């Protein structure tokens, strides 16, 4: 990875972090995602499963839906998806079906992450599409949002609020 690649990835991850903060303001787990092509951002999303009563409304899915609608295509080849948390199996499947070329994530997810934490679906040779994955971009900041969110939730449940 070149320095300019790292600079670009860091800049887009900062924007994904802002979307994660928006999720937190809505009472959702703070995860944000962007879909980026040569012309810039084509899709944005943040976690919405609680507010929409939709278990599929993860940040990645919301960003893919936004990008697909804007591009009028369910395939999004040649694009990069930036997400603040390592994708789960559901999101990885959607990413692969959309033909996303590259995923860049922030924090690892040791409980449900499938980019190497629990499984590595993106490196499964038997699948018909392969996506390049880069992890750990602004990992501490991304992980901090999640730690703070869950600490606040634990404190509310302990205090009875």
Integer CA distances (angstroms), 53 to 28, 45, 87, 98, in order: 11, 16, 20, 24
Angle between helices 89-98 and 59-71 (to 10 degrees): 20
Residue 28 among the catalytic residues: no
Residue 64 Ramachandran class (φ > 0 left, ψ -120 to 50 alpha, else beta)? alpha
Write phi, then psi, for 80 (nearest 5 degrees): -115, 135
Indicate which residue of 3, 28, 60, 141 is catalytic. 60
Q: Which residues form the catalytic set?
A: 60
């Amino acid at each position: 990875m070149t320095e300019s690649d790292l600079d670009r990835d860091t800049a887009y991850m900062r924007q994904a972090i802002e979307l994660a903060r928006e999720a937190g303001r809505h009472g959702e787990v703070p995860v944000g995602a962007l879909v980026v092509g040569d012309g810039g951002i084509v899709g944005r999303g943040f976690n919405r499963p609680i507010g929409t009563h939709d278990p599929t409304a993860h940040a990645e899915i919301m960003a893919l839906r936004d990008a697909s609608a804007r591009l009028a295509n369910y395939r999004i080849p040649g694009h990069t998806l930036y997400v603040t948390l390592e994708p789960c199996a559901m999101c990885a499947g959607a990413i692969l079906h959309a033909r996303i070329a590259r995923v860049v994530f922030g924090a690892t997810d040791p409980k449900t992450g499938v980019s190497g934490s629990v499984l590595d679906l993106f490196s499964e040779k038997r699948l018909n599409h392969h996506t390049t994955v880069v992890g750990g971009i602004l990992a501490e900041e991304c992980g901090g949002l999640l730690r703070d969110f869950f600490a606040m939730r634990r404190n509310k449940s302990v205090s009875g609020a």
